[in-house]
């Protein structure tokens, strides 16, 4: 008795049952095998010539040999255990070794159970290309109906990218480069789409795919800028230099390329600060600088600049060493190019030649 119309199996389910049957028969259902429920010929009827009835194809378990057969048997065990991901690997290896297109039905069934509808479509399309005369008209019809039914569970990606040559990934798997030259299909559910290109920031979005339509994604890639931000806080009168260039006084803030930088902070009467500051991409770093007073030298009296040279006078030390012993010049008749200096300690007069001295 047939089910009421609203309880009939959907077309998608009927197609999958055909694939399940193919797997259960060891892949023997690809060509026109005789139906299991065929009635015997009536009594007295002449049997048809043997050539008119095509022989049922031998199942994969009998036609495959060697490593291909071992991979196939391992795949069936994994499938029966519900391990469809690894069953696919074994079925694909068996197909690679044997090139028997019946294995593609089994791969398609694993993909259906994993809800990998886009891959299922690709597998069925490969089956139609590779099977050739091994497919009956009914096989091709079933495959076409399966493809049509599966389209309700996928959507086409319409990617509008600002840069050509960017790599496109869906759920971490590369599907092409911009502009996409082949249609990219997305499985129903939440999909992560990433567009990446060297020298640009990645664009990544999550899209809820309803199936049976088009998903539009706009990817505007921005160039990468390898820089951070540096803030230097120093005393108000301090001069701030970065990499040998004066950038401010007191407090300075600004963008800085990523990497190491030489920071120098100076102020009158204070010991200078010098250090290396490391800046990372998109980092904001704050550096607080405190300067310390220079130590005082009690023996230093003064600095005298003479004609581009500097003479340091330390009167007490010079006198004690007798560095200027000798005759005093005639009063009022000093030689050209000399300067008379009086030492405070002992009343002596010193003459330091310079310029055009003798």
Quick one: 21 and 62 in the same domain? yes
Domain contains 39? no
Domain contains 358? no
Q: What share of the chain is helix, strand, coil (3-state, %, to 5)?
A: 30, 30, 40
Domain contains 293? no
Domain contains 148? no
What lies within 8 Å, CB to CB, of 308 at 6+ separation is none
Quick one: 283 and 326 in the same domain? no
What lies within 8 Å, CB to CB, of 6 at 6+ separation is none
Maximal CA-CA distance, the chain: 165
Quick one: 253 and 336 in the same domain? no
Domain contains 3? no
The domain total for the chain is: 4
pLDDT by residue (tens digit) across 60-94? 889 999 999 999 999 999 999 999 999 999 999 99
Strands 284-288 and 227-233: parallel
Look up the domain containing 170 and give its range. 153-219
Report how far residue 28's alpha carbon sits from residue 100's, in angstroms, rounded to the nearest whole number: 11
pLDDT by residue (tens digit) across 178-195? 999 999 999 999 999 999
Quick one: 125 and 207 in the same domain? no
pLDDT by residue (tens digit) across 258-310? 999 999 999 999 999 999 999 998 899 999 999 999 987 644 444 444 444 44
Reported pTM: 0.55
Could you tell me the CATH number of the domain that includes residue 237?
2.60.40.1120
Could you tell me the CATH number of the domain that includes residue 163?
2.60.40.10
Quick one: 93 and 26 in the same domain? yes
Among 244, 260, 288, identify where a domain stops.
Answer: 288
């Amino acid at each position: 008795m047939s089910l009421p119309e609203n309880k009939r199996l959907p077309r998608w389910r009927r197609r999958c049952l055909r694939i399940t049957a193919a797997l259960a028969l060891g892949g023997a259902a690809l060509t026109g095998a005789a139906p299991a429920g065929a009635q015997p010929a009536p009594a007295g009827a002449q049997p048809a010539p043997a050539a008119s009835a095509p022989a049922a194809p031998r199942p994969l378990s009998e036609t495959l040999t060697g490593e291909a057969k071992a991979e196939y048997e391992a795949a069936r065990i994994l499938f029966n255990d519900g391990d469809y991901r690894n069953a696919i690997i074994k079925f694909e290896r068996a197909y690679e070794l044997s090139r028997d297109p019946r294995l593609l039905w089994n791969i398609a069934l694993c993909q259906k159970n994993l809800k990998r509808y886009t891959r299922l479509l690709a597998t069925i399309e490969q089956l139609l290309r590779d099977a050739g005369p091994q497919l009956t008209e009914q096989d091709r019809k079933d495959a076409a109906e399966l493809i049509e039914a599966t389209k309700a569970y996928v959507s086409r990606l319409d990617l509008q990218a600002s840069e050509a040559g960017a790599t496109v990934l869906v759920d971490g798997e590369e599907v092409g480069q911009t502009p996409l030259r082949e249609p990219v299909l997305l499985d129903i559910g939440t999909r992560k789409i990433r567009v990446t290109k060297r020298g640009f920031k990645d664009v990544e979005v999550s899209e809820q795919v309803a199936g049976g339509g088009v998903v539009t994604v706009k990817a505007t890639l921005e160039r990468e800028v390898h820089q951070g931000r540096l803030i230097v806080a120093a005393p108000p009168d301090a001069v701030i230099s970065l990499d040998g260039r004066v950038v401010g006084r007191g407090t300075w803030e600004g963008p800085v390329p990523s990497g190491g930088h030489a920071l120098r902070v100076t102020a009158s009467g204070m010991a200078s600060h010098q250090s290396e500051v490391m800046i990372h991409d998109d980092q904001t770093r704050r550096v607080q600088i405190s300067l310390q007073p220079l130590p005082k030298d009690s023996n230093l009296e003064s600095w005298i600049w003479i004609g581009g040279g500097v003479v340091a006078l330390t009167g007490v030390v010079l006198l004690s060493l007798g560095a200027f012993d000798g005759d005093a010049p005639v009063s009022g008749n000093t030689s050209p190019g000399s300067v008379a200096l009086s030492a405070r300690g002992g009343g002596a007069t010193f003459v330091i030649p310079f310029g055009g001295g003798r």
